[in-house]
Amino acid sequence: MKRRGILLIMFSLALAVFAAWVAKNRVYARLNAPQEPTQTVVVAALEIPFGEKVEARHLKTITLPSSAALGNHFDKTDDVVGLLALQKSIPGEILLKEHFADRNNGSTLAAIVKPDMRAVSVRVDDVVGVAGFLLPGNHVDVVAARTIEGQTRRSEAHTVLHNLSVLAVDQTASQDKDQPVVVRAVTLEVTPKQAEILVKAREEGRIQLTLRNPMDKSADADLVADTVEPKAAPPTKKIRSTPPSSPGNGVTIIRGTNIHNSESAT
């Protein structure tokens, strides 16, 4: 019995030594393995509201493996301080360059307008403004209505612009609100061509804004009935005619579009 106990103790010690040796080799292998390069990334330390000018207190940096970096992020907090937030950022979110704009070249509204786009304000009331539910960040269609004078007076309405982004309501561009607000003006983001169409529709009659579901991407292209040019009518074929003959006896022969006069002998 003693001999058996001694063998068990020796076997246990051997297993312990083997386990320690394996653990040591794994630790050495991990320490000596080449380290993956890392990169500094700027994230939001606090919530950054839409339209807010970024301050140093809003920011912090973390270290990530280079393979996990997004490529369009900021490396230093100094690169973000003073920029204007184009959308809301939550704490811990990696800050991307396309979500911020330089404010040095104009007002807050001018900074959030995309390149090659324009901001146009239209006067609204509680009806045109969809009962106050138009808020910055919504998307709308523009319906134009006008009265046509003629033998019978009639009215017509059609959608002239689709999927326009609401930049601001009155003088508020913040997207944090979710309660209806009755406003007097709405600022829309449009292309130069859309701006001309909108101004023309407003001068010709009344306009109505219709609120879109943000997930609805249908009919994004402009559809303007008034700008469709009518097809040219096919050219009419002229019938060649001969001058009338002098009075007298004769026979007139008509073949298709050709007319021939034949004088008879007297």
CA nearest to 212, candidates 143, 139, 126, 160: 139
Q: Are residues 214 and 117 in the same domain?
A: yes
Last residue of a domain, one of 106, 134, 150: 106
Residue 62's domain is classified under what CATH number?
3.90.1210.10
pLDDT in tens, 162-210: 989 888 887 666 555 555 566 678 889 999 999 999 999 888 888 888 8
Q: Are residues 100 and 117 in the same domain?
A: no
Dihedral sign (CA 132, 137, 141, 143): positive
pLDDT band at 233; cut points 50, 70, 90: very low
In three-state secondary structure terms, 169 is strand
At 45 the pLDDT is: 93
Q: Are residues 142 and 217 in the same domain?
A: yes
Q: Are residues 220 and 119 in the same domain?
A: yes
Higher-confidence residue of 252 and 38: namely 38
Domain encompassing residue 151: 113-227
Q: Are residues 192 and 217 in the same domain?
A: yes
Q: How many CB atoms lie within 10 A of CB 164?
A: 21
Last residue of a domain, one of 47, 75, 106: 106
Q: Are residues 79 and 148 in the same domain?
A: no
Q: Are residues 85 and 56 in the same domain?
A: yes
Query: What are residue 168's DSSP bridge partners?
Result: 187
pLDDT band at 228; cut points 50, 70, 90: very low
- The DSSP secondary structure of 190-246, one letter per residue, reads E-HHHHHHHHHHHHHSEEEEEEPPTT---S-S---GGGPPPPPPPPPPPPP--PPPP
Last residue of a domain, one of 81, 106, 131: 106
Q: Are residues 54 and 137 in the same domain?
A: no
pLDDT above 90: residue 7: no
Name the domain count of the chain. 2
Q: Are residues 122 and 217 in the same domain?
A: yes
Compute CA 249 distance to the chain's CA centroid, rounded to the nearest angstrom.
Answer: 81
Q: What pTM was computed for the model?
A: 0.51
Q: Are residues 213 and 190 in the same domain?
A: yes
In three-state secondary structure terms, 24 is helix
Q: Are residues 118 and 223 in the same domain?
A: yes
- 21 occurs within a structural domain: no
CA nearest to 175, candidates 166, 183, 184: 166
Q: Are residues 50 and 87 in the same domain?
A: yes
- 64 occurs within a structural domain: yes
